[in-house]
Amino acid sequence: MIIQDKVIVITGGASGLGLATARYMANEKGARVAIFDMNAEAGHAAAADIGERAMFVETDVSNDESVRAAVEAVVATFGTIHVCINAAGLAGPSKVLGKDGKATSLARFAQTIAVNLTGVFNVMSKCAEQMATNEPEAGEERGVVINISSGAAFEGSIGQCAYAASKAALLGLNMPAARELGAVGVRVNAIAPGLFMTPMVNELEEKVVASLLTVVEAPKRLGDMREFAHCCAFIIENAYLNAETIRLDAASRLRAR
């Protein structure tokens, strides 16, 4: 799919990897981007910074009506949706048992699942409904979905039960969704990013960053957010890539602790 002038929905697009991708797609690829995020202040600021190629919609991805209204707002403004990048997520620290030996709160576990898994399905399905009405590009594809997983989907650390489970579930979602939506010309892929130099990481002490680097193999550095955005662009542009998960992590593997 050619990215120029396409409409891209990015959840979690007001900060971090989502924001970096929104900027990259609009400023360097000529796309129109719709930022879905709960942070209204950051979202409006991001859209204003990008300019006329961007819009912001305050959205709770775990809420059915919120996402439906957000998708309708995008269609009303930009006419359609071609790409959906699901980058919104909660870290949601969660063990099986707490420090007191008691079972972890189910509500905490459920909240992470609601955003990281149910929220992804919610946005993907409503965007795919719109994508299916597009005219097929090159006679074959109408849309692209990119769901953001994590290295924790493969090697979750202690305390990541909810997060790792939610991110692993996205990998299971890939194949059946790609097989189903392929019939209407929509591809579904995932990215499992490793450690990236996000604004949050930038604020960490030098010794903490050095500790993170010990699990990164080569290149021996944290990822540049533009490299993540570039990976999203590659998935969009390569029409033969479907139902795959790309581990974008410099061969890093998370430790137990």
Active-site residue list: 163
Residue 97 makes CB contacts below 8 A (sequence gap 6+) with 103, 104
DSSP 147-203: EE--GGGTSPPTTBHHHHHHHHHHHHHHHHHHHHHGGGTEEEEEEEE--B--HHHHT
Side by side, the strands of the sheet bearing 7-11 are 54-58, 32-37, 7-11, 83-86, 143-148, 186-193, 245-248
How far from the centroid of its chain's Cα atoms is residue 142's Cα?
Answer: 20
CA distances from 50 to 28, 56, 91, 204 (A): 11, 11, 27, 27
| Both structure tokens of 245 | 């998960």
Measured between alpha carbons, how far is 85 from 187 in angstroms, rounded to an integer?
12
How far apart are alpha carbons 159 and 154 in whole angstroms?
14
Task: Round to whole Å and give the CA distance between 35 and 12.
Answer: 7
